[in-house]
Structure 1
Amino acid sequence: MFWFLLIAMVVVVAAVTLAVVGGGDDAVLPETGSERLADPLPEDRPVERADIDALRLPVAARGYRMAEVDDVLSRLAAELAERDARIAGLQQALSAAHTRRDEEPRK
């Protein structure tokens, strides 16, 4: 009985090993390309909050703590949105100041 169990165990281990390692395109675990960040950030304009929201970093076996990186990206996105709102407000105030200056009567 012992030899039967030993042989059965060897056969099962060999079958699993062949299924995982071999098999070509029909393998249980087919070869995949390494996961790399395809940089979706625009090069022709400033980064916006939507760009940060859409950014997803690849995960590796010895990668990063996803929750921490997501927190950092959320904070960065919020700060970019706040900055953009402040810039828009300052531009509007500057435009209003120029308009008032142009409307003042000349002495």
Structure 2
Amino acid sequence: MVTIGLYVIGVAVLVALLFALVWFVFGRGEEMPPIEKGTTLTRLPRAGITGDDVRTVVFQQVFRGYKASEVDWTLEKLAREIDELRAVVHDLAARDELDAGKADTGPMRPLGAPGEHDARH
């Protein structure tokens, strides 16, 4: 009799564990609304895009491959970031050239060259 009681309790515990596992994995069964049109998992930061950001981009797959609008958006974002970085590089290079031009004082003449006044005499 004790064996049957332990068997029933064991089966009940096993069923409860299986029920809990299924409930946590699949949820409570409520209906979820469809995803709004235009919602995407494709994300990039507003500025300062790094190589790791690009490597982790995820595109939604549709019947014939990736969703073209997400790929186009990502490429446009990357192109804009590259243009901004090139503009910064161009500005810094122009500033360096301007600074180098201001520092130019002409050719240097050696001390004691003819025509120079020697302050010691």
Superposed pair shares fold, TM > 0.5: no
Normalised TM-score (structure 1): 0.44
Which of 1 and 2 has higher RCO (CA within 8 Å, sep 6+)? 1
Q: Which has the higher helix share?
A: 1
Largest Rg, 1 or 2 = 2
